Amino acid sequence: MTLADILSADQIIIDLQAADRWEAIDELLAKLVFCNKIKPEHQAPIAAVVKKRESSMSTGIGLGIGIPHASTELIPEVVGAMGRSRRGVSFEALDNQPVNLVLLFLVPQGQFQKHLHTLAGIARLMHNKDFRQALENATDPASMFEVITSFSARK
Domains and CATH numbers, the chain: 3-153 (3.40.930.10)
Catalytic positions are: 69
For residue range 85-101, list pLDDT tens digits in order: 999 999 998 899 999 99
Q: Compute the half-sphere exposure of residue 85: CA atoms within 13 Å on the CB side of its CA.
A: 26
**pLDDT value for 123:** 85
Q: Indicate the pairing of strand 79-89 with strand 69-72.
A: unpaired
pTM, whole model, 2 decimals?
0.93
**Three-state SS for 12?**
strand
CB-based contacts of 125, cutoff 8 Å, min separation 6: 2, 3, 131, 151, 152
pLDDT < 50: residue spans in the chain? none
